Amino acid sequence: MFPLILSAAGVALVLDRSGDGLPRVRHFGADLGPVDAIALLPVLGSLSPVPRLVPAQGDTWYGRPGLSGSRAGEHWPVRWSLEDVQVAARPGAGGTVTVTAADPDAGLELFTELAMDTRGLVTMRHTVLNVAATPYRVEGLTCALPVPARAGELLDFTGRWALEKVPQRRAFGHGVWSRENRRGRTGHDGTGLLVAGTQGFGFRGGEVWGVHAGWSGDHVHYAERLHEGVALLAAGELLESGEITLAQGETYRTPLVYFTWSDSGLDDASARLHDHLRAERSLSVRPVTLNNWEATYFDHGLDRLLELADRAAAVGIERFVLDDGWFRHRRDDRAGLGDWYVDEDVWPDGLHPLAEHVRKHGMQFGLWFEPEMVNLDSDLAREHPGWILGMPDRLPPPQRHQQVLDLARPEAYDYVLGRLDTLAGEYALDYIKWDHNRDIAEPVHGGVPGVHAQTQATYRLLDELRRRHPGLEIESCSSGGARIDYGILARTDRVWTSDSNDALDRQAIQRWTGLLVPPERMGSHVGAPYDHITGRALPLGFRAATALFGHMGVEWDLTAASESELEELATWIALHKRFRPLLHAGRVVRADHPDPSALLHGVVTPERGLFAFVQLTSRVESGPAPLRLPGLDPAAEYDLRIAGPIPAGTAMPGWADESLRLPGATLGELGLPGPSLRPASALLFEVERV
């Protein structure tokens, strides 16, 4: 059979359908031009062997198998026979390929969905069907694409609470580099994106391939290279033994796995992901949000909250979110989770006085929940101890004084849905902050590992709540950034990037989280002058300039702020609103700036751009490096001007005092003389196409 080519936006994927088995992906990378599929035949025959869509030893693949499983305790190696290939594709516009295969001896059928969107992003998922009378236990099923020998370096991410998405790089040698997560959620240390690339690749240069599993439970991302000269990137759900057992006629479907490529660095690979997410669902204008948590914590005195709402409205905030502490028995974090009724002692008139006051200011009203969790000290746990996810006669180890509610139990699911539905309706909620504050340990549901069922139940709960309340927006928070993936983002409107509002740490957290998540989906707040996690005090201008490049919000007790601080904050919020259409629709660009003590990043459209030069720490060199502005059209001319307040103590270059017009090629290649900034400060400037 002739090769099949999918192509779009400078990317091509070539499927080799020769032989009786599953197709092989012979190429995933740069567009091959107007080549005829027949002309590729002799070229494909000379290439090194590559694995089929589901790698297996029966196809001479001696690495990690794509499918592993057993039947009645016996190992059943699978050798697929191709049954059908359905194609809907147009050159240059991507398309879809659906592959059907079977192994009658193993009693299995396979359905593979492979798609390339118009931006060149590839998605893949497999479905395996058991057609035999005896049960088949699925131990693992991943999606993989090959990468060429020149991909000699790997980038992935680790982290912890309040310091997510820390990059780590290594050589891509022989063997497997596997990032496995068994925390029941995506995890603070979840890589998010596993990248292979040519030596020394960066944001603006080098060829890169990336993979992401769109799944919010246990997952695996891995890179593998064999001595035969073949390598691949793969990802999927990480299954525990016995978690998925298929009776006759039952199926297991993998989560969607996303593959991106670029020959011009991480920014372009990231843009394909951003564009895909934006095309999946367009969002309304992202309101500037105040969350009261770090302002009042569990102190829910009405007068104090009303004053906070007044201050919020005065500085231009558009949404007020009441965080933890409003429901029964919740005076600290040891009690009340699961008792989703407004606390009558604290709120004798319900939340209506606060909600009405907030809305009189023209702000939206939102509420915090942690629907998947329960405190043992709660009416819910006392009345329904069997609803806790775990062994029937043994509790899992506690974290944060709480346990996980088994949402795969229909009664628990119905209770949580009923309470959220009722409260969303009673208070006409505009917004829910949906938290998930612990890892899932020893999850047992129905006698088998329960993460898969719990994740699917959470998805169903989110989907049904949104169906009942179409205008409701939901934020996914998981003790900060521990559940950021395309599975949860398909059902929520933004993610809380980190529990740390320390702007210095946030610069790196947002920079690397932003590879996967566009700015409008990334919560970023102006915290208090003194950060309670790091103990660091930072100037307001730096905190605001950091929050401005995301879905901006405030998490600071404004009743304690001075008038001058409130005026300055209002200026920054107005600046964010002015640039919001650009920030939340443009392309994110990051310079490979030579000075490790500073960052240069921005967001651009064909007509304009906003950039931030950020001085993180003190410079080693006495003078700043030139600012080479990425992402501009080299053939266009741009006017350049300062866009925001100039930080105190800044030594400005001469161009800042006069109108400057230069070609994009000059701004990108020679750059501009950089300002001399103090540590923990940022200067914003904009460009506009002439």
The residues that are catalytic are: 435, 499
| Contact (Cβ atoms closer than 8 angstroms) between residue 430 and residue 366 | yes
Distance CA 685, CA 611 (A): 5
| Contact (Cβ atoms closer than 8 angstroms) between residue 248 and residue 87 | no
Q: CA dist 126 to 27, 115, 117, 466, Å?
A: 20, 12, 18, 27
Residue with tokens 């398309």: 95
Distance CA 540, CA 562 (A): 12
| Contact (Cβ atoms closer than 8 angstroms) between residue 182 and residue 239 | no
Give the gyration radius of the chain's Cα atoms.
26
Helices within 23-123 (DSSP H only): 41-46
Cα–Cα–Cα angle for 37, 41, 42, rounded to 5 degrees: 140
Distance CA 376, CA 387 (A): 11
Half-sphere exposure of 537 (CA within 13 A, CB side): 0
Residue with tokens 């891509």: 172
Residue type, position 96, single letter: T
| Contact (Cβ atoms closer than 8 angstroms) between residue 186 and residue 485 | yes
Q: Show Cβ contacts of residue 24 under 8 Å, excluding neighbours closer than 6 positions.
A: 15, 16, 50, 51, 52, 53
Q: Is the sign of the CA dihedral 517, 165, 525, 403 positive or negative?
A: positive
Tokens of 213: 């599993």
Distance CA 15, CA 36 (A): 13
Q: CA dist 518 to 45, 167, 432, 489, 567, Å?
A: 41, 18, 20, 11, 29
CA 377: distance to chain centroid? 33
Residue type, position 335, single letter: A
Residue with tokens 């558009």: 318
Distance CA 43, CA 16 (A): 11
